[in-house]
Amino acid sequence: MAIQPEVISRPDLELSVVIPIYNEEGNIETLYEELTAALESIGREYEIIAVNDGSQDRSYQMLNGLQTRDSRWHVIHFRRNFGQTAAMAAGFDAARGEIVVTIDADLQNDPRDIERILDKFEEGYDIVSGWRQNRKEPLFLRRIPSIIANRLISRTTGIRLHDYGCTLKAYHFDVVKGVQLYGELHRFIPALASQMGVRVAEVPVKDRARHWGSSKYGFNRTFKVILDLIAVMFLLSYFNRPVYVFGAAGIMVGTVGALLGLYLTVFKLLTENKIGDRPLLQLAVLLMVLGVQFISTGIVADMIMRTYHESQHKPIYFIRERRRSASRYEENVPLPM
Ligand code: UDP
Ligand code: MG
């Protein structure tokens, strides 16, 4: 029997820290010490959710050891390597904290920065993102692609962040439970959450060199990120009613085609000229067919979105808070005289 993911639907703790872990045996002990010191000095009640993403090294044994040593640690072991996004999604499902913080296991983020992130969070934000200063990574392979990606995502989503790629971030419970992740989408959570109407802030954080081991990613991640970016842009702009976008294009193109066709018809009827060999005729036909295609693609996309919303009970709105006085029809509530 497969173990079903446990999805917590109400927060009952102050803070959850989610850590994706893939072959990090050399980092786990230091991570435990630095994290425990940092979190205990903050003084909030917390839980750690360590997600072992199918590590082949001794991470399995070490995490189990930590879990028996410290009951605040929860460990989820994947059956195989599903990727960092899946690991974070598993952590989000299991998280019970009102605030959910994500951090890398390799200590490139400094756990002591969590306190400043939480302070910012308390000012009333839904997402607080770390912004790595003095990046230690190679300029051409990592930092320049990352600058371009950050600009693009910021521009298209309206959520302006300098460092989408920084794992050290804090999210409100509602945010992590509300976004659906796949691919390499974890870095786009603030963008995806922009739909929900989130308030987002940034806090500068330290960037350290990897403590032990090597990065799990190569240059080919850049391509995945670009494709994810396109998918996210599409999702965000066409989300609710794709037919509006495709339909508008269809109507415009189709109208131009129809006008050209009309012109040719009138031209043919009024003058005795042939129109069969005119390139304009081909253009008119092309545009009309294209218009019909656009509109029908829009309708199909619309139906797909409908299935998506209805089958998963996806809301089309998100509530920040609700206030209501007790109903006068409830028992024991006296009616005002
Ligand atoms: N990671 C993971 N699954 C993977 C790859 C990475 O859980 O398939 C974890 C990894 O253990 C680390 C974090 O994700 O805690 C970030 O990975 P890495 O440091 O290799 O990425 P980089 O810092 O180079 O972007
Ligand atoms: Mg790293």
Residue pLDDT tens, the chain, 337 long: 678 888 888 999 999 999 999 999 999 999 999 999 999 999 999 999 999 999 999 999 999 999 999 999 999 999 999 999 999 999 999 999 999 999 999 999 999 999 999 999 999 999 999 999 998 878 887 788 888 889 988 988 889 999 999 999 999 999 999 888 877 789 999 998 988 889 999 999 999 998 899 998 887 887 888 888 888 887 777 666 788 888 999 999 999 999 999 999 999 999 988 888 899 999 999 999 999 999 999 999 888 888 877 787 777 777 777 788 776 666 665 656 5
State the distance from the centre of ligand 1 to the C-alpha of 184, rounded, in angstroms.
Answer: 11
Q: For residue 216, which ligand has an atom nearest its CA?
A: 1
Specify the pTM: 0.83
Q: How far is Cα 331 from Cα 328, in angstroms, rounded to an integer?
A: 8
Residue carrying the six token digits 């670009």 = 226
Which residue's CA is minimally distant from atom 23 of ligand 1? 215
Pocket test for ligand 1, best of 22, 63, 168, 181 (most atoms within 8 A of CB): 22
- Distance from the alpha carbon of residue 17 to the mean position of ligand 1, in angstroms: 16
Which residues have C-beta atoms less than 6 Å from ligand 1? 20-22, 24, 53, 81, 83-84, 87, 104-106, 108, 215-217
* Helix extents (H) in 7-143: 25-42, 59-69, 84-94, 114-122
Contacts of 20 (CB under 8 A, 6+ apart): 51, 53, 84, 87, 88, 91, 102, 104, 105, 167
Q: Which of 129, 135, 159 is nearest to 147 (CA)?
A: 135
Closest C-alpha to ligand 1, atom 2: 84
Nearest ligand, measured from the Cα of 166? 1
Q: How far is the CA of 80 from the centre of ligand 1 (A)?
A: 15
- Give the Å distance between the CA of 239 and the centre of ligand 1: 30
Q: Which amino acid is at 107?
A: L
CA distance 102 to 92: 9
